[in-house]
């Protein structure tokens, strides 16, 4: 006797439908974000893979694999021979080809090289070659030595750190004045300051270079450091936006206790502003680390003073025929900024959100 199937109830409530649509929308957005992230990181992944390959691996396709693989070889009578998967009467075996010919080839068993030589007839070029994954971390040590990374790191750190100190000090003072002091025409002055952001650096390049050349700063680090001790409009904007989120009651309480405006800045404003301080510091450090044009024109001919951006570019021109060394050099150059970004990520993201979104 057949039993009737009882149909299961389907939830058709409006709340369930809304939740289902939300889940679908979120899933699609997450999928699109994942695909964009994957596409964005593909060049970086290729850079890592190339940096771990040898020149021979780059010259051969190795079966079309994107991984750093190379053929497995076997030493036979003083020379290295490749190993293939060869179909035989007793199944597929891994044999070393010792004598290739047009229509056939001689193979030996790597486990018994003194045994009988097997002559295999057929298109041996279509046989699958045995490969293995093999990375070459020595590319990094070669690049480190050839490029003299310790000297480049020292030069870049001096330029970036001193410039970061200068831009933090100057921008904090200017932003504090715009955020707290009742200056006459403060809005117009701030608008003029912000409008300087749209001025291309190429417009001021020639007069700036002529001025620094006149005072004898060309060929030194001074043109790359001293200008940052004069507030940058973008950094002033970030600091001002953050300072305006801090309640004025804290300033007034400190002034009632006898604090001067400078003491209010040092003891009240700055201790609460670490997110934006870290953000601006990271912005400038990464800018100074990647800056190529300014060091190139001011330190031309002074290799002992050049930063890492110029040194890496010169190295790429000299070793362009060695892409594995070029990519290894690029990874070494970006290692420190990446480490600093991940270490300061919490403060960095909080500062960007508060200064750029909430205000």
Task: Return the domain boundaries, the chain.
Answer: 13-51, 73-129, 148-358
Q: Would the pLDDT of 63 be above 50?
A: no
> Which of 108-112, 194-198, 209-213, 330-334 tops mean pLDDT?
209-213
Percent of the chain having pLDDT more than 70? 90
Separation in Å, CA 227 to CA 141, 164, 277: 36, 11, 19
The two tokens of residue 319 are: 């070793």
Percent of the chain having pLDDT more than 90? 27
Query: Residue 326 — left, alpha, or beta (φ > 0 → left; ψ -120 to 50 → alpha)?
Result: alpha
- CA nearest neighbour of 96 among 67, 71, 73: 73
The two tokens of residue 212 are: 């620094």
Spatial distance between the Cα atoms of 352 and 358, rounded to a whole number of angstroms: 10
Mean pLDDT across 257-281? 90
The two tokens of residue 214 are: 């006149």
| 91-100 and 131-133 strand pairing | unpaired
* β partners of residue 108: 96
Rg (CA), the chain: 32
CATH topology for the 148-358 domain: MetI-like fold (1.10.3720)
The two tokens of residue 162 are: 């001193």
pLDDT at 102: 86
Separation in Å, CA 135 to CA 40, 130, 184: 24, 16, 65
**Are 312 and 329 contacting, i.e. CB atoms less than 8 angstroms apart?**
yes
Spatial distance between the Cα atoms of 277 and 337, rounded to a whole number of angstroms: 17
The two tokens of residue 193 are: 């300051």
29, exposed or middle or buried, with CB in 10 Å at 0-12, 13-18, 19+?
Answer: exposed
pLDDT at 359: 40
Largest CA distance in the chain: 107
Q: Would the pLDDT of 290 be above 50?
A: yes
- How does pLDDT run across 132-177, given as a tens digit for each residue? 888 888 888 888 888 888 999 999 999 999 999 999 999 999 999 9
SS3 322: coil
The two tokens of residue 311 are: 């040194």
Overall size of the chain counted in residues: 359
Give residue 5's Cα distance to chain centre.
60
pLDDT at 62: 46
- How does pLDDT run across 5-15, given as a tens digit for each residue? 555 555 566 77
Mean pLDDT across 245-267? 89
How far does the chain reach from its first CA to its final CA, in angstroms? 74
- How does pLDDT run across 76-90, given as a tens digit for each residue? 888 888 889 888 878
Separation in Å, CA 81 to CA 71, 110, 272: 10, 10, 68
- CA nearest neighbour of 147 among 5, 290, 281, 329: 329
Spatial distance between the Cα atoms of 21 and 24, rounded to a whole number of angstroms: 5
- CA nearest neighbour of 178 among 228, 229, 227, 231: 231
Q: Write the CB contacts of 350 (distance below 8 Å, at least 6 apart in sequence).
A: 275
Q: Write the CB contacts of 301 (distance below 8 Å, at least 6 apart in sequence).
A: 219
- How does pLDDT run across 179-227, given as a tens digit for each residue? 998 888 888 999 999 898 888 888 888 899 999 999 999 999 999 999 9
**Are 76 and 108 contacting, i.e. CB atoms less than 8 angstroms apart?**
yes
């Amino acid at each position: 006797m057949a039993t009737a199937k009882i149909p299961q109830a389907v939830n058709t409530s409006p709340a369930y439908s809304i939740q289902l649509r939300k889940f679908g929308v979120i899933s699609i957005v997450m999928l699109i974000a994942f695909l964009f992230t994957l596409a964005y990181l593909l060049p970086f992944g290729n850079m890592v893979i190339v940096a771990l390959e040898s020149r021979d691996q780059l010259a051969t396709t190795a079966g079309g694999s994107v991984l750093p693989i190379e053929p497995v070889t076997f030493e036979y009578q003083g020379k290295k021979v490749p190993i293939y998967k060869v179909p035989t009467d007793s199944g597929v075996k891994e044999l070393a080809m010792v004598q290739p010919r047009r229509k056939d080839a001689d193979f030996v068993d790597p486990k018994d090289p003194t045994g009988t030589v097997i002559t295999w007839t057929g298109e041996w070029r279509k046989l699958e070659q045995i490969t293995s994954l093999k990375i070459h971390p020595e590319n990094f040590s070669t690049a480190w030595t050839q490029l003299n990374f310790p000297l480049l790191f020292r030069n870049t750190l001096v330029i970036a750190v001193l410039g970061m100190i200068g831009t933090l000090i100057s921008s904090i003072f200017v932003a504090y004045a715009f955020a707290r002091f009742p200056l006459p025409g403060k809005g117009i002055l701030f608008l003029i300051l912000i409008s300087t952001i749209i001025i291309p650096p190429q417009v001021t390049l020639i007069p700036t270079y002529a001025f620094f050349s006149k005072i004898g700063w060309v060929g030194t680090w001074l043109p790359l450091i001293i200008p940052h001790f004069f507030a940058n409009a973008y950094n002033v904007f970030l600091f001002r936006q953050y300072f305006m989120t801090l309640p004025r009651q804290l300033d007034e309480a400190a002034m009632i206790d006898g604090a001067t405006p400078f003491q209010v800045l040092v003891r009240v404003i700055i201790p609460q502003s670490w997110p934006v301080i870290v953000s601006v510091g990271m912005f400038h450090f990464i800018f100074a680390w990647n800056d190529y044009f300014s060091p190139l024109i001011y330190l031309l001919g002074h290799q002992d003073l050049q930063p890492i951006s110029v040194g890496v570019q010169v190295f790429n021109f000299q070793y362009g025929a060695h892409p594995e060394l070029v990519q290894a050099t690029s990874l070494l150059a970006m290692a420190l900024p990446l480490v600093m970004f991940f270490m300061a990520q919490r403060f960095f993201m909080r500062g960007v959100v508060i200064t750029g979104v909430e205000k």
